[in-house]
Amino acid sequence: MGADGMMRNLFAGVNVPGDPDNLTDLEKRHVPSLFAPPAARKDEFFPVTVEVGMSLAHPNDRGHFVQFIDLFADQVFLLRVDLTPGTVAPKVTVHVALSAPAQKLRALARCNLHGLWAGETDAPSIS
């Protein structure tokens, strides 16, 4: 439900939490959590972990699962990880290198039943 009491269309755009400090159960299951080091060297790989359903497990069966996770540095697309139901948990660690500073790392995760969800964290400072 939206703030006006109307049912919102979860497939109408990118979903973000209404109040990041007070997530609903739907948001806890779907908003990606990102973890990265505070600093990294230019053009050197560093780990980024993205987990969907960190505070409340997301289902992972053929009827309800996370289809993919995309990772961006600001607006620059870095990668997509495709997931399969039942065999792959919606948590990935990848290694990326940035050649220029970025403000945010952003993940988009798509649930087959509840659409596209966004989460972000500060990007590492690049030296």
In a domain, residue 11? The reply is no
Confidence of residue 7 (pLDDT cuts 50, 70, 90): low
Task: Answer whether residue 74 shows pLDDT above 60.
Answer: yes
Q: Are 42 and 127 in contact (CB under 8 A)?
A: yes
Task: Answer whether residue 2 shows pLDDT above 90.
Answer: no
Task: Answer whether residue 40 shows pLDDT above 60.
Answer: yes
In a domain, residue 7? The reply is no
pLDDT at 9: 87
- Give the domain range for residue 116: 38-126
- Residue 10 CA neighbour count, 13 Å, CB half: 16
In a domain, residue 14? The reply is no
